[in-house]
Structure 1
């Protein structure tokens, strides 16, 4: 049997990126994550993958701790690390975060979390690293210099990188995830290893085209996975309805459902709707029934105006059956108004399980904690199917190295 390739996951969240690597047979050595409930989800998933109790390793720590390297060393006990993966929290790189902060978030300590990533990378010197972040990273600045250039310079000291940032942007939709989610995926290969990082990018195979694809981009690819493909089998529920665990069987399978649910699985977790006030229910109903934007609703039905009407048009958004979902975000834990269910009869926003489906999490993935905690974990995660496409390409080149 071939030796299992190993990885460490930093800023692991509930383990969306890890999930892709587990699915490809990689061995998780440890995960570093600050959030307690995300850590509980990680531990649970390691157990699911058959790790014995003494090999379940999740460091519930602040990655900026001075002794973090010693702690990781202790956890992995002299095993060599093939791949380091992770995505530092990205609020300070996101355009929305910058717009809200008068200093453009230049003083935000989260800007410098990548330095912890760099410190750990340079200590363990894995063969390959994967650094995930929002596309806002490409335009963000630290002082007068572009953040991405600073990061490329620092991480590129001992690692080969591709030099075209636009080629680092992957859209989860292209890998069969029912969601449009563009992310910067920075992949580096240690300089003494005979692998060109461009080969890894080339090996991240696009299986589907997305709603914006044209011409040759569509050729020999499957159509994007829609919201309907992903969640239409789930029981219809009204606001405040649903159970933590229910029995569920699928009568009409599709290609996507076979990827995220086992044929003999009979239960469904966390399909529980939030309660909504009557005014919101009316908004959801009108918008989903008529396929209106928030602004269209205000024009056609002014009585549904919101007292705190926001200036931007994305405070209330319907996800449409025939398209992939918009980017699932962590804000979901505060309210679900940007994720209104397409079925107007249900008058509600998405459940945690529906959000997880749109992120491509398997149905047997358990998100620990309250519903608020679940939404937060799901919104912050890397879609597992996209992570798996990356892991598959890395596994291929490691097998040859």
Structure 2
């Protein structure tokens, strides 16, 4: 079964489809470093130089259809996947912009997705975005209604928007990450999209779930499950490749790591100033919020007066992580390591672990670029749950 990945990023969504045996026809992505990551991963999956089809292009360019056609050729496209950049839809982005990002050109990138969708008319599509999409407006009109109207011309869609919101934690990802997943089925196939949604099987509980009493669900995967085996390092320490053997196995690590591996990539800690190290250490040791720190240790207030409770946030060993975000490339203050003796923020590999990327996944580019790619990605284990259901439906027809 063949797919096209639009707004591919580093390939978190496509990773789930690779795991289920889908074949990539092409990826479209504008970021150079993410494109290098996509190419490296395709070679990992056995694609040769002739088959490594990654279009480093602006999807809004006039000739994008012909460029995609040159890669697809005469092959049938079974699935189109992808998520237009979401900064303009996010509630945080709208709050920071005086116009609520109403003038942001990224609001209209979904039109490019629909343009490609209408040209290749796959059997199924997957459109991923932040939950802020549900409340975003353009010229006073809810953007979700505009998108659903356009997508619904040739595709069956769910009527209940709430059912389109999935949480990665439910699928074994050690992270709370709610995302809008729009799945459509081509009308002539007469497949109800509800069949696909029902097939996206929840395997784990999550701290906010109302289904935690279901006996068939496993306990949510914690930060401790995901990263506690990694070498302890202080700020400024670590190397692009470190020797590392996992001594204590757990179910989560067995899914993302080959236990014959004796190395770990990208486990390099940022350098931090003395004040931040003190903040990290005290907050993680006491499990304090930033507000509690300011109340009890006012000397550690920040000069920039960013007194938001989410300016500095500790991740806790016994819970899933908070949503990993692309802002991680600017600073990691919202992702303070739970071990107070390390007095630092998360490394790129730790963030990748919390996103459910396999340890053998290579992120190309600088550490800044790695953080950005990881934060923007769809968790691969969540993507695989979606791919598995779509595969079953396509096999049935």
The reply to whether residue 179 of structure 1 matches residue 165 of structure 2 is no
Q: Who is 1:229 aligned against?
A: 225
Determine the structure 2 residue equivalent to 1:111.
107
Q: Hey, what does 1:302 align to over in structure 2?
A: 298
TM-score, length of structure 2 as denominator length: 0.99
Q: String of CA shifts for 1:2-38, please: whole Å, max 9, x gaps.
A: xxx0000000000000000000000000000000000
CA-CA distance at 1:337 after TM superposition:
0.2
Equivalent-residue separation in structure 2 for 1:138 and 1:350 (angstroms): 30
Q: 1:53 is paired with a residue of what secondary structure?
A: coil
Structure 2 residue matching 1:177: 3-state secondary structure: coil
- Is 1:98 paired with 2:94? yes
Counterparts of 1:291 and 1:216, CA distance in 2: 25
- CA distance in 2: counterparts of 1:355 and 1:298, whole angstroms: 27
Cα gap change, 1:108/1:54 in structure 2, threshold over 3 Å: closer, same or farther? same
Structural mapping, 1:341-360, within 5 Å = 341-360=337-356
Q: In structure 2, what is the Cα distance between the partners aligned to 1:361 and 1:215?
A: 26
The whole-number CA distance in structure 2 between the counterparts of 1:293 and 1:382 is 27
What is residue 277 of structure 1 aligned with on the other side? 273
> Does residue 376 of structure 1 match 2:372?
yes
Question: Within 5 A, what are the aligned runs for 1:7-156?
Answer: 7-156=3-152
Q: Is the 8 Å Cα contact of residues 237 and 268 (structure 2) preserved in structure 1?
A: yes
> Which residue of structure 1 lines up, in the alignment, with residue 395 of structure 2?
399
For residues 312 and 218 of structure 1, what CA distance do their matches in structure 2 show?
A: 37
Shift of 1:98: 0.7
How many Å apart are 1:381 and its aligned residue? 0.1
**Equivalent position to 2:262, from 262, 266, 281:** 266
Q: Quick one: distance in 2 between partners of 1:62 and 1:216?
A: 43
Number of corresponding residues: 397
Deviations 1:267-303 (A, max 9, x none): 1000000000000000000000000000000001011
* 1:250 maps to which of 238, 246, 252: 246
Deviation, structure 1 residue 76: 1.3
Q: 1:338 to 1:82 in 2, by over 3 A?
A: same
Partners of 1:225 and 1:335 in 2: CA distance: 25
SS in 2 for 1:174: helix
Q: CA deviation at 1:215?
A: 5.3
CA RMSD of aligned residues (A): 0.8
* Aligned match of 1:212: 208
Aligned to 1:189: 185
Q: Relative to structure 1, is the Cα distance of residues 215 and 383 closer, same or farther in structure 2, using a 3 angstrom cutoff? A: closer
Q: TM-score, normalised by structure 1?
A: 0.98
Partners in 1 of 2:19 and 2:81 — Cα distance?
A: 15
Q: CA deviation at 1:144?
A: 2.2
Gaps of 5+ in 2: none
Worse overlay, 144-153 or 126-135: 144-153
Runs (4+) of structure 1 moved beyond 4 Å? none
Q: CA deviation at 1:77?
A: 1.3
